[in-house]
Structure formats: C-alpha cells, structure tokens
A and B are shown apart, each in its own frame.
Chain A
Amino acid sequence: MASDSDKKEMPARTDKVIERTNGALEPDLPIEARGQIGSQLRKVYGDMLQEPLPDVFSKLLSDLARSETEGK
C-alpha cells in the first residue's frame, strides 16, 4: 500500500540525517533551505566582523598590558 506518502520525506531529499534524539529521527533541512539560512547568517555575522571597533577595547587591552610591564 502507499506508505511513503503518509510519512514525512526522509533521507532522499536531505544529504544528512542526524542521529536519534528523544527516540525520533530528526531529518536535517533540505540543502537549499540550509544554504539560504546559512548564507544570511554568515552575511550578517560577517558584516558585524567588519565593523570599526570602538576605542574602548584597544584602550582596555593596552591598559592591561601596561599594568604587566610596569608596576610590581
């Protein structure tokens, strides 16, 4: 009888099936969907990495380094 059509599509459309958790197989997203999510995520993250840094960080680091070499 028609069994495959009743169930969710499994490995044929995905490139990976993760191991069992909570007793159920969790198929990964189809690769196209994962690709879209991933590239949006990396685009936004990458843009953030390019941001100019506020001075506070380099100042903090040089203060920390200076307190090592001076004093004591």
Chain B
Amino acid sequence: MSIHDPLVFQKDLAALVPNLRAFARSLAGGADQADDLVQETLVKAWKHRDSFAEGSNLKAWLFTILRNVFLSERRKRKFEVADSDGMFADQLSVKGSQASRMDLLDFQKAFEKLPHEQREALILIGAEGFAYEEAALMCGCAVGTVKSRVNRARAKLAEMLGVTGAEDYANDDFMVRTRAHGS
C-alpha cells in the first residue's frame, strides 16, 4: 500500500510523534512551545506529503520539516531560546530512574546552556542514532561540522557535569563556565 494513502500516512506520522516531541523540546525548550512546533510540523508534513519519496527515511524528513519550522519561527522571534521551563522539566519524577534527581537536574541545566546547533547535533547523533551523513543533510551543513558540534557539546557537558577525565579535553570557548556540583 502506498504511503500516500491517507490512513497509512496518518498511522506512520502518529508513530513518530513521540520522537518529534522529544526533538522539538531539545530545540524549543518549553513543553508548550515544543508541542505547538510538532503540530505545525504535522500540518506541513501532511500538506507536502506528495513530496515525500516513498522508501526514504520518514523520520529524517519530518525532523527536517520540524527543524525548518523552528528556525523560521525563531527568526520571527516567536520562540525564546531555552526558556526557564527546561527541556526535560517533566522528567524529574520518572519512575524507575536509576539516576538521582540531582543528576537529571544537572544534566538538564547543562544541556540548556549549549547553543541550539550543538543540542540539535547531539540529539540527532547521540539520542536518535542518525548517521553523520544523514544529520548533515538534515542540518544543511558539512559532516565535519556535525562532528565538531557533537564533540564540542559532549566536551562542554562533560566539563559542566564534572565527568571524570574530561577536563583535559574541554574547549576554552565556553559560553558559560559553571560547575554543576555545589550550585
């Protein structure tokens, strides 16, 4: 059955909404803004579904749309960058989490200090498992740029979180020099 069958496409989109929400939160920060972003993405995806090449990666296609919506809304200054809500604000009371509450708080705070290009790269590569080449296509940049962003994101996070053995590898051009512990 063709993916352009409305019911099939609806089902395929629905299956990816959790991923879209998670990606949107890493870009937009607040949960409400992220959900708005996802809805706009779904509407756009639906409108342009004939341009989706059957057999290609639907998630990558949707993530690219979401990313473009985010950037154009940001240009219109609709979204604040990393507001006080926090990307993972709702995650602090997850059940069965082995990480302590303080660990998750620290991670959230540290993550939000990253520039959005680095947050995006880290999510695509480290959380969603896209290949570097795919991520580069989605972000409209070179593979080396994605790698560089991921490495810098990791180095900054590691330094902010006080991860052992990372100090020698941290870059000097941090936006914010803070220590997570004791804050």
Chain A residues with CB under 8 Å of chain B are 8-9, 18-19, 21, 26-30, 32-34, 36-38, 40-45, 47-51, 53-54, 56-58, 60-62, 64-65, 68-69
Please count how many residues in chain B sit with their CB below 8 Å of the partner chain's CB atoms.
Answer: 51
B22 within 8 A of A: yes
User: Quick one: given A33-B164, A51-B90, A54-B35, are A44 and B151 in contact (CB under 8 Å)?
Assistant: no
B22 near A9 with CB under 8 A, answer no
A43 near B99 with CB under 8 A, answer yes
Residue of B nearest to A30 (CB): B165
Q: How far is the CA of A58 from the CA of B169 in the complex (A)?
A: 45
The interface residues of chain B, by DSSP majority, are classed as: helix
User: Quick one: given A33-B158, A69-B6, are A57 and B14 in contact (CB under 8 Å)?
Assistant: yes
The interface residues of chain A, by DSSP majority, are classed as: helix
8 A-B pairs with CB atoms under 8 Å apart are: A18-B144, A26-B148, A37-B126, A45-B127, A45-B128, A53-B18, A60-B42, A61-B42
B168 near A9 with CB under 8 A, answer yes
Residue of B nearest to A31 (CB): B165
User: Quick one: given A29-B158, A61-B42, are A48 and B25 in contact (CB under 8 Å)?
Assistant: yes
Q: How far is the CA of A37 from the CA of B168 in the complex (A)?
A: 16
B123 within 8 A of A: yes
Q: How far is the CA of A71 from the CA of B157 in the complex (A)?
A: 52
User: Quick one: given A30-B169, A48-B18, A65-B7, are A19 and B144 in contact (CB under 8 Å)?
Assistant: yes
User: Quick one: given A21-B144, A53-B18, are A29 and B6 in contact (CB under 8 Å)?
Assistant: no
CB distance from A28 to the nearest CB of B (A): 6
User: Quick one: given A28-B151, A37-B158, A45-B22, are A61 and B13 in contact (CB under 8 Å)?
Assistant: yes
Q: How far is the CA of A35 from the CA of B127 in the complex (A)?
A: 12
Residues of A within 8 A of B122 (CB): 41
A32 near B164 with CB under 8 A, answer yes
> Top 3 A-B pairs ranked by shortest CB distance?
A45-B127, A33-B166, A65-B10
Residues of A within 8 A of B6 (CB): 64-65, 68-69
Q: How far is the CA of A32 from the CA of B42 in the complex (A)?
A: 38
B10 near A36 with CB under 8 A, answer no
